Structure 1
């Protein structure tokens, strides 16, 4: 009887330790998700501030190109959404292309590329942390975003190949078939 009582007490203590450990681990994962999500949002805000600054720089130059005016205005409107959108990425791609064709240089290209690198790094950290087992078990049942999307534009250089590859990948995800190179 003493042996059975000892086993039962040991089992109850073991279950208690497991429950305490689980709740501790869960709160740690939630704190990390909150922190990483905040880091992504902060980096996105810095990036959009740089876009606004760049748009103001070209607005002061009083560009005569109607396409440039249109994409600058569109960029300012798309930024207000406070998160990644395909429309913003496409707009920035077209805007960058117009700037390069017209040989318009921005002093902020390096700053924009750096802020995008920081954003993409924060996105990678968040996405990897969220899908890693056992974090994914906890993250699945939370309000946190499933994943953030990367922003593939580079300022001051051609992005034709990057955009073509991105379109191929999206088409592959949608329709299947052989993996694009």
Structure 2
């Protein structure tokens, strides 16, 4: 047996065990990385050329803020709905099936009725795109602010018309 392969095997087993007991945990590495990045950012602030001509220090402070948020468990960005994996797989299977059918119909040349399975395949691909994009969950407070502004606009319109609110409706 080769010494190098023994070392690799021991390392492959020892690293997860050490992380499990907390010797080299992810949190500890993240804390050390934050500490090192803060020291580097302070040095970058002292350097006149890098501080004035490049946004490197600002980028580093942004990275530090993200690392601190990860370390403390704060949510990063807007909350999102999960991707419906079953629906995506079903739409992909349907799209692949109809795409294959379209290929079989048109392999010797275009035939007008190949448009129908091709359209179904394209619609399924658009469905997958719709399921994987724009998944942000709207704020409840944002919806109530919008409702209040709509009520205020409706009240202003009633005042302009001169009718009481009951008659305007």
TM-score range, shorter chain: under 0.3
Larger radius of gyration: 2
So what's the TM-score if we normalise by structure 1? 0.24
Q: Which has the higher helix share?
A: 2
So what's the TM-score if we normalise by structure 2? 0.26
